[in-house]
Amino acid sequence: MNQHDRIASAFELQKAGSARRRVEFGLAERLAALNALKAAIDRREQDIVAAIAADFAKPEAETIFSEIMPVTQEIAHVRRHLRGWMKPQRMLPTMATFGTSAQIRPEPRGVCLIIAPWNYPFNLMFSPLVSALAAGNSAILKPSEMTPATSRLIAEMVAETFPPELVTVIEGDKDVSQRLLELPFDHIFFTGSPQVGKIVMAAAARNLASVTLELGGKSPTIVGPGADLKKAAQWTAFGRFSNAGQTCIAPDHVFVHQSVAADFTAALRTEITKFYGVEAEQSADFARIVNDHHAARLRGLLDDALKKGAQVIQGGKGDGRFLEPTLIEALTPEMEIDHEEIFGPILPIMTYADIGDPIVTINARPKPLALYVFERDKALIDRVVTETSSGGVSVNAAFLHYTHPGLPFGGVNNSGLGAAHGIHGFRAFSHEKSILTNRFSAVPMLFPPYTERVKRLIRMARRLLG
């Protein structure tokens, strides 16, 4: 069977079982599927570590912390709350619907497509799958071809854990993704760049499929004059340089108040050295760029910035897929790095005198996926949060909002559409069906023929109901 036929066969198999699954895939079956996934993750933990190390040279602790834990935490949270999420929600009648009962009943969307990116290939594949299964759907998974070891492992784990009519994996390159996007899925969950997100959304529109788009953008960090500089440096260094900066919600650039800029930069350099040593290339705790193409892209961004007047104040050296943690300053709008999402271990630092300046700059750009504020002054924090728009905000931390299962995680406009995690992920993969049952509604009194009496009743109803 060729790849084209295999894709069609996998889709038709899941589509054929949709009606039966809607009836038979209840709470017990969904929990059993989630338990099976958790058992598979526990059983294959060292294989997961090894696969991601093969693709990124990512350290084991970082893989457990950033790839495995988010998925197992999501499973645990869903298992605790799924019964309540699945219950129909009763809605009280209004004056216009007096004499009726109403409820909202969540139902599965059907056959879903989940396309995962390469930067967190395990986490960003299985976290959406948890939500899809919790909502009662089947799913076809498309891992990234740029992380081949992890892609192969995902395919093995899924084949060992689920029947293909419930979950299956299709591996391949962008041509495979394009073929999948031609199929009439009921929901598409895509994580990747805004550019590809537009392609996915256009493809979904042809079949009127609903979408969740987890995209990216240039997530800014603001360090205020009253910030705890050690905390700001620690979280910023962790957020920027974990996974060698290849994180969609990593601090992309820092605006630091001119009164604390020198001290913040010094603290940041101290934290980088503490994390990865004097020679990061020798550190077992620092990951590598995913491939030569992306490494060349990052060096091109850095070279372009340096040619146009930027200055390296830390790092800048690298070879092959290694680029050491790099801090630069003196950016100008002419530089490519000022416009393109960096997605690597380079952090531009810019100073400001008035908080209004970075707010204006942030608002002039596409809305970011995340925004970070380090400051003690609550009024300043509130001003930044109120006067900017972003997918999410962490105050005096980086990444942390992503880990909260009760918060919706997602972007806005250019940085995404829809939300994931917890009940928000459950809702993304559910259709909320409204059901109204008439018992003794008085509305028929307003039906034709429109006699004078009926007209008087309609006028009275209008006065009462507005």
Q: Which residues are catalytic?
A: 214, 248
Name residues whose C-beta falls within 8 Å of residue 29's C-beta, 6 or more positions apart in sequence.
none
Instruction: Annotate 78-92 with b (16+ C-beta within 10 A) or e (fewer).
Output: bbebbeebbeeeeee
DSSP percent split of the chain into helix, strand, coil, nearest 5: 50, 20, 30
d(CA 321, CA 56): 9
Question: Over the Cα atoms of the chain, what is R_g?
Answer: 25
Helix (H, G, I), strand (E, B) or coil at 211: strand
d(CA 442, CA 426): 37
Name residues whose C-beta falls within 8 Å of residue 450's C-beta, 6 or more positions apart in sequence.
458
DSSP state of 88: P
Which residues, listed in sequence order, are joined to residue 352 by a DSSP beta bridge? Answer: 257
Q: Which two tokens stand for residue 294?
A: 């992306």
Helix (H, G, I), strand (E, B) or coil at 417: strand
**Are the beta carbons of 219 and 341 closer than 8 angstroms?**
no
**Are the beta carbons of 68 and 48 closer than 8 angstroms?**
yes
DSSP character string of 240-297: HHGGGG--TTS--EEEEETTTHHHHHHHHHHHHHHHH-S-GGG-TT----SSHHHHHH
d(CA 232, CA 380): 16
Name residues whose C-beta falls within 8 Å of residue 352's C-beta, 6 or more positions apart in sequence.
255, 256, 257, 258, 358
CA-based torsion, 5, 8, 10, 12: positive or negative: negative
d(CA 111, CA 335): 44
